[in-house]
Amino acid sequence: MSMKDKEITKLYWSIGEIAEMFSVSKSLIRFWENEFDILRPAKNTKGERRFTAQNIEQMRIIYTLVKERGFTIKGAKQEIRENKKRIVNQREAIKSLEKLRKNMKDLLNRV
């Protein structure tokens, strides 16, 4: 089962799974959790973080701004605060385009 399949069927992910998904360290995720108000995974009675699909989307926003676009932590916080709706809309558009691309590849493979 690929990571994409797991994303569809699971309700909660561990910090280790999230670290693997984004190719970052667990300590970086914990750091981002402390720095960004939007990232607040639930914790079980043992204190272990349990990430939801919504938390993964929040991680994607942070990851995109910091790792892919080169924002500083301060700059990413400001960008999220000022343009959260636009950022969420962009993420949704990217997801739609990725799905469309996959469907088109599937069609081409059938031919």
Res. 7: pLDDT tops 60: no
Res. 1: pLDDT tops 50: no
**What pLDDT does residue 93 have?**
86
Residue spans per domain, the chain? 3-82
Q: Which of 92, 102, 104 is nearest to 2 (CA)?
A: 102
Which residues are CB-contacts of 26 (< 8 A; sequence separation ≥ 6)? 15, 16, 19
Are 22 and 32 in contact by the 8 Å Cβ rule? The answer is no
Share of the chain above pLDDT 70, in %: 93
**What pLDDT does residue 9 have?**
74
Q: What is the pLDDT of residues 29-72, one digit of tens each?
A: 999 999 999 999 999 899 899 999 999 989 999 999 999 999 99
Q: What is the pLDDT of residues 62-91, one digit of tens each?
A: 999 999 999 999 999 999 988 877 777 887
Q: How many residues does the chain have?
A: 111
**What pLDDT does residue 26 have?**
96
**What pLDDT does residue 6 have?**
52
Q: Which fold has domain 3-82?
A: Multidrug-efflux Transporter Regulator; Chain: A; Domain 2 (1.10.1660)
